[in-house]
A and B are shown apart, each in its own frame.
Chain A
Amino acid sequence: MKKDLYVFNSGFLRRKDNTIMFETDEGKKYFPVEEIESVFIFGEVDINKRFLEFMTEKNICVHFFNRYEYYVGTYYPREHYNSGIVILKQVEFYNDYNKRITIARSIVEGAVLNMLVVLRYYNSRGNMLKDEIETIERMRHNISACSDVNTLMALEGNIREIYYRCFNKILDDENFTFVRRSKNPPLDRINALISFGNSLLYATTLGEIYQTQLDPRIGYLHSTNQRKFSLNLDISEIFKPIIVDRVIFSLVNKKVLSEKHFEKELNGIILNDQGKKLFVSEYNQKLYSTIMHPKLNTQVSYKRLIRMEAYKLQKLFLENIEYKPFVARW
Chain B
Amino acid sequence: MDIYMTGVYIWYYNICKRQVWLMAHSILPDENDDNIVLGRFLHEYYYRKDQKEIKFGNAVFDILYQDKDEIVIGETKKSSRFKEASRYQLLFYIKLLKEAGISAKGVLFYPEERKKEEVVLTAEEEEKLEKMIAEIETIIEKESPPPAATCRYCPKCAYREYCFA
Within 8 A of A (CB), among B12-39: 25-28, 30, 32
Inter-chain CA distance A296–B30, complex, in Å, is 15
Per-position contact with B for A212-229: 1 when CB-CB < 8 Å, else 0? 010000000000000000
Does B144 lie within 8 Å of A311, measured CB to CB? no
Does B165 lie within 8 Å of A315, measured CB to CB? yes
Residues on the B chain within 8 Å of A85, using CB: 25-26
Q: Tell me whether A318 and B26 are in contact in the complex, defined as CB-CB below 8 angstroms, given that A296-B160, A296-B161, A308-B161 are known contacts.
A: no
Does A83 lie within 8 Å of B27, measured CB to CB? yes
Per-position contact with A for B136-164: 1 when CB-CB < 8 Å, else 0? 00000000110100000000000011101
Does B144 lie within 8 Å of A304, measured CB to CB? no
Residues on the B chain within 8 Å of A314, using CB: 27, 162
Q: Which of A2, A309, A318 meets B165, CB within 8 Å?
A: A309
The residue in B25, B27, B28, B32 that gathers the most chain A C-beta atoms within 10 A of its C-beta is: B27
Q: Tell me whether A83 and B25 are in contact in the complex, defined as CB-CB below 8 angstroms, given that A308-B165, A319-B144, A319-B147 are known contacts.
A: yes
Does A311 lie within 8 Å of B32, measured CB to CB? no
Per-position contact with B for A51-78: 1 when CB-CB < 8 Å, else 0? 0000000000000000000000000000
Does B145 lie within 8 Å of A312, measured CB to CB? no
Does A320 lie within 8 Å of B165, measured CB to CB? no
Residues on the B chain within 8 Å of A319, using CB: 144-145, 147
Per-position contact with B for A268-311: 1 when CB-CB < 8 Å, else 0? 00000000000000000000000000011000100010011101
A268 to chain B, nearest CB (A): 39
Cβ-based interface call for A151 (8 A): no
Q: Count of chain B residues with Cβ under 8 Å from any Cβ of A? A: 14
Residues on the A chain within 8 Å of B165, using CB: 295, 308-309, 311-312, 315
Residues on the B chain within 8 Å of A2, using CB: 32
The chain A residue sitting closest to B147, CB to CB, is A319
Residues on the B chain within 8 Å of A82, using CB: 26
Does A213 lie within 8 Å of B27, measured CB to CB? yes
Residues on the B chain within 8 Å of A311, using CB: 161-162, 165
Q: Count of chain A residues with Cβ under 8 Å from any Cβ of B? A: 23
Does B144 lie within 8 Å of A296, measured CB to CB? no
The chain A residue sitting closest to B1, CB to CB, is A85
Residues on the A chain within 8 Å of B160, using CB: 296
Residues on the B chain within 8 Å of A318, using CB: 27, 144-145
Q: Tell me whether A84 and B26 are in contact in the complex, defined as CB-CB below 8 angstroms, given that A319-B144, A319-B145, A319-B147 are known contacts.
A: yes
A265 to chain B, nearest CB (A): 39
The chain B residue sitting closest to A318, CB to CB, is B144
Residues on the A chain within 8 Å of B25, using CB: 83, 85-86
Residues on the A chain within 8 Å of B147, using CB: 319
B89 to chain A, nearest CB (A): 24
Inter-chain CA distance A307–B162, complex, in Å, is 9
Inter-chain CA distance A312–B161, complex, in Å, is 10
Cβ-based interface call for A102 (8 A): no
Inter-chain CA distance A304–B32, complex, in Å, is 12
Q: Which of A83, A307, A308, A312 meets B26, CB within 8 Å?
A: A83
Cβ-based interface call for A10 (8 A): no
The chain A residue sitting closest to B146, CB to CB, is A319
Residues on the A chain within 8 Å of B30, using CB: 211
The residue in A81, A82, A211, A300 that gathers the most chain B C-beta atoms within 10 A of its C-beta is: A81
B76 to chain A, nearest CB (A): 23
Q: Which of B27, B145, B161 meets A304, CB within 8 Å?
A: B161
Extra A-B contacts (15), CB below 8 Å, given A81-B27, A85-B26, A213-B26? A2-B32, A82-B26, A83-B25, A83-B26, A86-B27, A213-B27, A300-B161, A304-B161, A307-B161, A311-B165, A314-B27, A314-B162, A315-B165, A318-B27, A320-B144
A/B interface sample: 16 pairs, CB < 8 A: A81-B26, A81-B28, A82-B26, A83-B26, A85-B25, A85-B26, A86-B25, A295-B165, A296-B164, A311-B161, A314-B162, A315-B165, A318-B144, A318-B145, A319-B145, A319-B147
Question: B residues near A, CB below 8 A?
Answer: 25-28, 30, 32, 144-145, 147, 160-162, 164-165
Question: Which 7 A-B pairs rank lowest in CB-CB distance, beginning with the nearest?
Answer: A308-B165, A311-B165, A83-B26, A295-B164, A319-B144, A311-B162, A312-B165
